[in-house]
Amino acid sequence: MPRTSSKKLPAATSTNSSSPVDLFRSATGKAANKELERIDQLFYQYAENSSGLIDPEGIEALCSDLEVDHTDVQILMLAWKMQAERQGYFTLDEWRRGLKALRADAIIKLKKALPDLEKEVRRPSNFVDFYTYAFRYCLTEEKQKSIDIESICLLLDLVLGDQFRLQVDYLVQFLRVQTDFKVINMDQWMGFYRFCTEISFPDLSNYDPDMAWPWILDNFVDWMRSKQG
């Protein structure tokens, strides 16, 4: 009986073709790495070589390139976005955190991002965090818990002046003439914001001293009422 001839089938060739998802992930990863490289390169344009930090001089150079004054509130907002811990200094990690979030890997992109950052900060859901951060950022010494009156006056004007011009002007005037307080702590600082957002001004009709306001605000209201006669 004749044998049935059997032909060997060729072995299946394995292919290394990647799926579209893998290709997309690879491209995204490469783009992210390139973006991070550019962010790092930008950092080192302003960093001081010996410390590896952007110091006050570097921040001034950055502000000059951004065409923003170093006392502009947008610079404080940028520090907030980076969650910078030390006033006047940016670390590489802080710089990366902020610029990655802003999608800014070049000065021109960072400059364009600042107005949107300001809008982000002004949202009620973010502003209290920014306001709290502004106080902490100005604690320049280890274990420091309060800020001198003159610095608080400048900070109030910077952070709240645009939104509550009348309240801030009177608060600053009061703080500079009163003699009971030499420094302001966090509780008092937060009280200023609560006062601006909750109290009818300048008539003060809904101010109730029994509502656990900081003593300095009781004094401020007494001072305001004495001025109003």
Q: What is the pLDDT of residues 206-217, one digit of tens each?
A: 999 999 999 999
User: What is the homologous superfamily of the domain 129-228 according to CATH?
Assistant: Cullin, PONY binding domain (1.10.238.200)
Q: What is the pLDDT of residue 40?
A: 98
Q: Are 13 and 69 in contact (CB under 8 A)?
A: no
Kindly compute the dihedral angle of the four CA atoms of residues 168, 169, 172, 177, in this order, to the nearest 10 degrees. Answer: -150
Tell which CATH architecture fits domain 30-121.
Orthogonal Bundle (1.10)
Domains of the chain, residue spans? 30-121, 129-228
- The predicted-structure confidence for 166-195, as pLDDT tens digits, reads as follows 999 999 999 999 999 999 999 999 999 999
30-121 and 129-228 in the same fold: yes
Q: Is the pLDDT of residue 82 over 80?
A: yes
- The predicted-structure confidence for 103-138, as pLDDT tens digits, reads as follows 999 999 999 999 999 999 999 999 999 999 999 999
Q: Which residue has the tokens 């811990």?
A: 85
List the beta bridge partners of residue 184: 147
| Burial zone of 54 (CB within 10 Å; 0-12 exposed, 13-18 middle, 19+ buried) | buried
Q: Is the pLDDT of residue 1 over 60?
A: no
For 214, the token pair is 């900081």
